[in-house]
Structure 1
Amino acid sequence: MPRVTLQRPWIEFDLGQEMHVLSWAINRPGFVTTDRILWREVRNADLTPDLDVTDWLNAELATQKAQDAVAFLTSRDVRHHHEAQATVDGITAHVLATVGLSNAERIGSRMDYSDRHWGTINVAVALSEGVSQPALIEMLSIAVQARTVAVMDAGFDLPVGAATGTGTDCLAVAAPPGDLAYAGLHTAVGEAVGKATYDAVRQGADIWKQSNLHRHRKADHAET
């Protein structure tokens, strides 16, 4: 059973066993095997234009003896993390998410955030059931879809329409190796992954809006 440990500026999502993980995370992207997924909180001021983020993160991971972990970066206060679980036909999806929308985007367009603080949505999904590599790819597509719907349902409007995510989102899906070939919306895996991801991201988006939307709109007004 996955376990979450907060030790700011880190969150550790302990998968409980070695799993196959698929992501586009900064550290160990693509298809890898690991037993944990990490978040590292950063301040926007830390991310200077001349910073080599990969080298910096490698050094930070070395302090934790965690170079083998899949790792995200987030400017969201990691105390604001959100968990959700869903079980369908005996298959459980456990999701951990951090959600910030300060650099929200709508698909097919780009906002100018050159003078803004940057946020992100980071999501990790751990599945109890073993799946094949193609099914892991399908799991990732379901998690991305659930992230998008959760952000849209949270109702964060941009000049070009409703936000669908941010420009720096990153998701990772993890499962034991197995033979299960499909993980789409017609399957128990797809239903569990979609529900748990939606619930965690929606909770995070609603809470972020409650505490940040007024400040965000003041910044918009100051720029016009």
Structure 2
Amino acid sequence: MQLSLTPPWLVADLGRPRRVLSFAPHNPGFRTARHILMRELRNADLPPGLDAHRWLEGQLQATWQRDSVCMMTSRALRHYRVRRHGPVCCLATVGLGNAERVGHRRPAPSSGYGTINLAILIEAGLSETAMIEALTIAAQARTLAVLTAAIALPAGAATGTGTDCIALACDAGDTAYAGLHTELGEALGRAVHDAVLAGARDWVAAHGHVPPDHVADCPADA
């Protein structure tokens, strides 16, 4: 995975067209793409009532990347973290101003935004079923890292944010399993956990272990 940072864009070049599974706002689901993008924005870019997906499509119209998978983040892109373990490379941007605890949605929206975006490249050929399993391993690793960061919410420690996104890329192949009992699952879990924890610790160093309702990402995340 080769990275190119030209704010407001961070581009992850996968080396060649790959199979990508994501729930990204642009080109979600199973896609074939060579690049995964992250678009930096500020709180003011997304006023109440704005169609964020349409806004992002408009931003992409001016680029040559409309066929790529694209995510958004209000975390300054220069804070990205990358970790590699075995055949897995994980790129993470970590903002926790929009933190939530799973099963305990907060009734009032946060005054600040923030999200955890993951772009993961696995140098192995996976079946579609294995890609879905790998996505669950990535989500487990992200959650463990956020729990370790210990962001306090009224219901308990945060487990993620309300807008987390994962994009996982690999070649199509015959590998049928990517669970916790496999070497691939172990490498995937370590790469994602370490990248997210590094980013979370960086965020906590700036904002502390405080209820994110009192944290705005701009300009503190800049």
Normalized against structure 2, the TM-score is what?
Answer: 0.93
**RMSD, matched Cα:** 1.6
| Cα deviation, residue 59, structure 1 | 1.6
Q: What percent of counterpart residues are identical?
A: 48
The letter of the residue matching 1:111 is: R
Q: Structure 1: which 5+ runs fail to align? A: none
Match runs of 1:1-224 below 5 Å:
2-87=1-86, 92-114=87-109, 116-213=111-208, 219=214
Q: State whether residues 106 and 163 of structure 1, in contact with CA within 8 Å, keep that contact through their aligned partners in structure 2.
A: yes
SS of equivalent residue, structure 1 residue 128: strand
| Cα deviation, residue 113, structure 1 | 4.5
Q: How far apart in 2 are the matches of 1:140 and 1:202?
A: 18
Q: How far apart in 2 are the matches of 1:163 and 1:215?
A: 11
The letter of the residue matching 1:207 is: D
Q: How far apart in 1 are the matches of 2:97 and 2:213?
A: 12
Decide whether aligned partners of structure 1 residues 108 and 8 sit closer, same or farther in structure 2, where only a CA change above 3 A counts.
same
Q: Following TM superposition, where does structure 1 have runs of at least 4 consecutive aligned residues deviating by more than 3 angstroms? A: 214-218
Q: How far apart in 2 are the matches of 1:17 and 1:80?
A: 26
- Count of matched residue pairs: 215
Q: How far apart in 2 are the matches of 1:22 and 1:187?
A: 20
Decide whether aligned partners of structure 1 residues 200 and 217 sit closer, same or farther in structure 2, where only a CA change above 3 A counts.
closer
**What is the CA deviation profile of residues 144-180 of structure 1, one whole-angstrom value per residue up to 9, with x for unaligned ones?**
0000000001111211111100011001111011110
Q: How far apart in 2 are the matches of 1:76 and 1:104?
A: 13
The letter of the residue matching 1:142 is: I
Q: How far apart in 2 are the matches of 1:135 and 1:176?
A: 12
**What is the CA deviation profile of residues 66-111 of structure 1, one whole-angstrom value per residue up to 9, with x for unaligned ones?**
1101000100001110000001xxxx10000000111111111012
Decide whether aligned partners of structure 1 residues 59 and 110 sit closer, same or farther in structure 2, where only a CA change above 3 A counts.
same
| Cα deviation, residue 218, structure 1 | 9.2
Q: State whether residues 142 and 193 of structure 1, in contact with CA within 8 Å, keep that contact through their aligned partners in structure 2.
A: yes
Q: Structure 2: which 5+ runs fail to align? A: 216-222
Decide whether aligned partners of structure 1 residues 218 and 63 sit closer, same or farther in structure 2, where only a CA change above 3 A counts.
closer
